[in-house]
Each structure stands twice: as structure tokens, then as C-alpha cells.
Chain A
Amino acid sequence: MARLRVRNAAKSRDCEVSLPPIFSATVAVMANYSTNEFRSGLKVMLDGDPCSILENEFVKPGKGQAFNRVRMRNLATGRVWERTFKSGDTLEGADVMDRNMQYLYNDGEFWHFMEPDTFEQFQADAKAVGESHLWLKEQDECVVTLYNGSPLSVTPPNFVELEIVETDPGLKGDTAQGGSKPATLVTGAVVKVPLFITTGEVVRVDTRTGEYQNRVSK
């Protein structure tokens, strides 16, 4: 039988309690949630995928069946859509959590991340990293979403500072206004930058839009 160390608040010291065998499994036991408990941010399992609830609207004809129209995001695919449930239907909670982690390196197949407090490391595959690899710089902090303990998706910081490895030669005398040109960043991302920016400079980019923000003085 599994044992769990808990803090006994009344006696203000740690004690051990026995848990039924079900808790000894390595997979967390998730609760079921009824439609009236669906809140924005709740993570549930739907058709085998973890989903995040965005909005929940209760609708009912004057007499008759009540429904919940639920807007949700499929965390595996990113798809956002609306699904209707009968009021009172339940879904299993999903073992999903967002953790701040440091991006370490890419070994050619996996991207490696580390939780700074525990030094616990996680590897994410290309599916989990998706387009985010364009904004990942070693040592940067990002949010890794874990599903059953494994990376499901990676969200880069809203703003990152990255070096330009290739762009057409800068035009001296050009100022902030005027045209733009493509520049390739050290991560492989291509962003539009003002004409005066040169190779080797560091620029700040909004990762949500992929837009250049400003030049960062070195």
C-alpha cells in the first residue's frame, strides 16, 4: 500500500498516511467534472485529447432539455471550437499543467528543457515544439505544458532577443521609417526588419505575431 507524507496542520508536524492502492499508480487519478463545473481554464479529456475550456454557456428552451455550449481548445492540435453537451454530462479531468522551464539545447531530434527549481529535465519532440522552435534560444525561459508528465506544447516568451545571421547589407543613413527587408535569425526564423539593420545585430521580436520590435544595443 502506498504511503504519503502529509503535514498534519493540527499537530503542526509531518505524519504518514496510508493510501488505497489506486493512488500508487504512477498516473494521476483525475476527477470527473460536470458541465456546471466547467470553468475557463479547466483541462478535460475529450475524444482522447486533452482540452482547455475557454467559455461555457448554459442554454435552455423555456421547457425542455438544457445544454451547455462549450468553447474549448484542443491542446494537442491547437484547434479552437464549440461543442454542445447535455447539461449534467461529465468529462474526465486532464492531467495537464503549465510549468516554467529553461530551454537547454536541441540534440537533432528532441528539444531539452529543465525545471530551474528541481533541475528535472524533459525532452519535447517536434510535434510538441511545433513552430515555437523558431523562437527558442538556449537559456531562455518558456512555458512547457505537460500532459501526463510529458511535454505536450511549448510556449515561448512573448518577446525574445535574437541575433541576425543573414540579411542584405544595411543602408547607411536609413532611419526607422521607410522600407523593410527579410532577415534570418540565429534560430532560423525569418522576420521583416528595417533597412538599417545589419547582420550580427540583435533584434527584439514579438513571438505571437513574428514582428520585429526594435534593435537591441549590444
Chain B
Amino acid sequence: MSWQPGAGLEQLRARAGLLSTLRRFFDARGVLEVETPLLCSAGITDPAIEPLIVSEGRSLAAPRYLQTSPEYAMKRLLAAGSGAIYQIARAFRDGEAGSRHNPEFSLLEWYRPGFDHHALMEEVAELVCACLGQRPWRKLSYRQLFIDSIALDPFTAATSDLEARARSGHDLGDLSGDRDFWLDVLITHQVEPWLAGQGLCFVYDYPASQAALSQIVTEGGVAVGQRFELYIDGVELANGYCELTDATEQRVRFATDNERRLALGQVARPVDERLLAALEAGLPPCSGVALGVDRLLMLATGERDIRRVLAFDWERC
């Protein structure tokens, strides 16, 4: 057992400098800094995200979820007329630990009323350049990304072809799953290594089945979610949406998520009725993005392991 920090003084100073740069960036643009609660009574329905739950204490009428992101609370502020807002918050995701993951981590999340996801991508690029220095950046649609990197069209290829390609060169044992499962194997095992040579690259317009909380539109004959991811040298850094504002559609997505959770043997999660009520009242058209601050710091300092930029990683606290 070691009492000492995993990050050096240099990394601690770099973090302080980065936080200061982020706040200056938003201050200069008139984006309001906000704080929202870490402990929430509703969790997240996404089958791929598991929250940590706090279940003891006299203040608790029921267990509360440590937030996996401040998204729902920030959308309630937007619906209340906050205008552009940002937050630098701790978020928690159960079971996510490795060289790029810590179960407790720092998220920078911000929302821009009136922006579509392409306008927000530009602002993300400006912010990243403000932190890491000027550099070129590019955008690739999810479809073009797969075609350029592994010569498969993710929208039209047969699921069996996606699986066959996923298995080539990789021992996947008896893994099985649906179309999105194989796309996830391909992007993590074969596409991300290709992205490692692409510098700062946005990937946008995901399959509608991976839209999460983004607007779904038809582009090039296929339904796409207006969602984007930012990769820098193959490191996934940020996820953004042209936000879904329709309360009815949001309720359907929550229900669909919970059906998938049950089919996968997971427990269903209570839906956030306060968020739905806020959408009902009216969320202004906006785009929002969440960016991993610890990973941005890794890129700024050249560290390849997240544990080297955290004062005390999961095993040290």
C-alpha cells in the first residue's frame, strides 16, 4: 500500500494550468459555469453505462446514483433559460478501469443553444487547440471512417460480414451480439488503431441505433444520429450531440434502453421524470458535448496512462 500520489508535481501543475485555460476559454465566450449535484435520484438507462450507487445515510429516502455525466441536470438548466453553460465535474462509471479509464474521472461538459453539431465541433477544435497548441483537424462521417479504414460500409454490409471482419486477426472466442456489437468490436479493435495516425479527427453521424440522445435525421438514404466523437491520435476524447429535444421521443428511447437492458440480463433503471418534464416544458435547440479532462491532460503532458495524471487513482484512494 502506498500513500503517495501517482501523479508527479509536474502533472499536478499541468492539471491546474489546464483547468485555468478551460475557464478562461469559456469566460471569454460568455459561457456560464454551473454546478449540479453528483448524487441523483434517477440513473441512466444506457445499457453500456453502469452507475455506482450510494445506498446508506439518513438523508437518503432511496438509494442515489453517482452521476455518470451531468447531462440531465444541465438540460434542466437549459430548459429553465440558462443560455450557454459549462461544467467541470466529477463523473463515475462502474467497472471502467484501465490505461485510459478510471471509475471516477473529470468531465468537461458544455451546451450551446442555437449550435448544430457541426458548429459545436468547430468550437471543440478551438478549445482543444487552445489547450494543446494549434494543429490541423478534420471531420469524417462514421460511414466514411469505416470505408477509409477497413473498406466496409457500416450501414449496408451484412452483419455476417461485419462479424467475419471483426474476427479476422482477433481471437474473440464465443462472443456474439447484434449488428452494433460487431460495429463496436470493429471500431475498438481495427478502426481506432487506424485513427491513431490521423491526428485530431471528428467522427460524426452515427448509425441511428447508436444515436444515444442525439437527433435522428436521414442523410444519404440512411438514418443517422447527429452525434460526434473526437479522436486525437486514436484516443477517444469527447462525445457530442445535436440534442434530442422531443420529450415523447426521449421517453421512447429510455423505454427501448430498458428493454435492451432486460434482454441483456441487466436491471432496468428508473427514468428521469424531471428531465422529461423539462423537455416537455421546452429545451431550446442546442448541441452539447462531454470531454474527458483527464485524457486531455494525458495528451497535454504526453502521459500514456491515466493513472499518471490522477493525484490518486482508483487503487490509491
Of A17-25, A85-93, A143-151, A185-193, which binds chain B? A85-93
> Counting CB contacts under 8 A, is A28 at the interface?
no
The reply on B172 being an interface residue by CB < 8 A is: yes
Query: Which chain A residue lies CB-closest to B227?
Result: A63
Interchain CB contact under 8 A, A63 and B99: no
Q: How many residues of A contact B (CB 8 A)?
A: 23
Once A57-B99, A62-B236 are accepted as A-B contacts, the answer to whether A83 and B48 lie under 8 Å apart by CB is: no
The answer to the question of B274 belonging to the interface, with a C-beta cut-off of 8 Å to chain A, is no
Q: Are B101 and A58 in contact, with the CB atoms below 8 A?
A: yes
Which among A36, A60, A86 is the interface contact of B175 at CB below 8 angstroms? A86
Q: Is the CB of A66 within 8 A of B171?
A: no
Q: Does A64 contact B (CB under 8 A)?
A: yes
A83–B95 CB distance below 8 A = no
Contact A84 B95 (CB under 8 A): no
- Given known pairs A62-B236, A85-B173, A86-B175, the reply for A67 and B95 (CB within 8 Å) is no
B215 near A: Cβ within 8 Å? no
Q: Please measure, in the bound complex, the distance between the C-alpha atom of A56 and the C-alpha atom of B185, giving whole angstroms.
A: 16
Complex interface residues of chain B between 73 and 101 (CB less than 8 A to chain A): 95-101
Within 8 A of B (CB), among A85-107: 85-88
Using known A-B contacts A61-B236, A63-B212, determine if residue A36 contacts B48 with beta carbons closer than 8 Å: no
Determine if A64 and B184 form an interchain contact, defined as CB atoms under 8 angstroms apart.
Answer: yes
| B212: min CB distance to chain A, Å | 5
**A84 near B171: Cβ-Cβ < 8 Å:** yes
Instruction: Decide if A84 touches B173 in the complex (CB within 8 Å).
Output: yes
- How many Å lie between the Cα of A61 and that of B212 in the bound state? 13
B184 / chain A contacts, CB cutoff of 8 Å: 61, 64-65, 67
A81 within 8 A of B: yes
Residue of A47, A56, A66 near B48 (CB, 8 A) is: A66
CA distance A62 to B172 in the complex (A): 20
Q: A81-B171, A84-B170 are in contact. Are A65 and B177 (CB under 8 A)?
A: yes
Judge if B181 is at the interface, Cβ distance under 8 Å: yes
Nearest-Cβ distance from residue A74 to partner chain B, whole angstroms: 12
Q: Chain A residues with Cβ under 8 A from B189's Cβ?
A: 59, 67, 69, 84
Chain A positions 181 through 213: 1 when the CB is less than 8 Å from some CB of chain B, otherwise 0: 000000000000000000000000000000000
- A138 within 8 Å of B by Cβ? no
| Residues on the B chain within 8 Å of A63, using CB | 46, 48, 210, 212, 227, 239
Nearest B residue (CB) for A36: B95
Given contacts A67-B185, A84-B173, A84-B189, contact A62 B239 (CB under 8 A): yes
Does A82 make an interface contact (CB < 8 A)?
yes
Interface string of B172-215 (1 = CB under 8 A from A): 11010100110111011100100000000000000000101000
The yes or no answer to B229 lying at the interface (CB within 8 A) is yes
Name the B residues within 8 Å of A66 (CB-CB). 48, 95-96
In the complex, chain B residues whose CB is within 8 Å of the CB of A64 = 48, 180, 183-184, 187, 210
Digit string of B116-152 for contact with A (CB within 8 Å is 1, else 0)? Answer: 0000000000000000000000000000000000000
Closest Cβ neighbor of A86 among chain B residues: B175
User: Which residue of the partner chain, among A60, A62, A81, contacts B96 with CB atoms under 8 Å?
Assistant: A60
- The CA-CA distance from A214 to B132 in the complex, in Å, is 55
In the bound complex, CA of A129 to CA of B240 (Å): 57
Residues of B within 8 A of A58 (CB): 96-101
Q: With both chains docked as a complex, state the minimum distance between the C-beta of B73 and any C-beta of chain A, in angstroms.
A: 19
List residues of chain B with CB under 8 Å of any chain A CB.
46, 48, 95-101, 170-173, 175, 177, 180-181, 183-185, 187-189, 192, 210, 212, 227, 229, 236, 239
Residues of A within 8 A of B (CB): 36, 47, 56-67, 69, 81-88
20 contacts between A and B (CB under 8 A): A58-B101, A59-B188, A59-B192, A60-B48, A60-B101, A61-B187, A61-B229, A62-B229, A63-B48, A63-B239, A64-B48, A64-B183, A64-B210, A67-B185, A67-B188, A84-B175, A84-B189, A85-B173, A85-B175, A87-B95
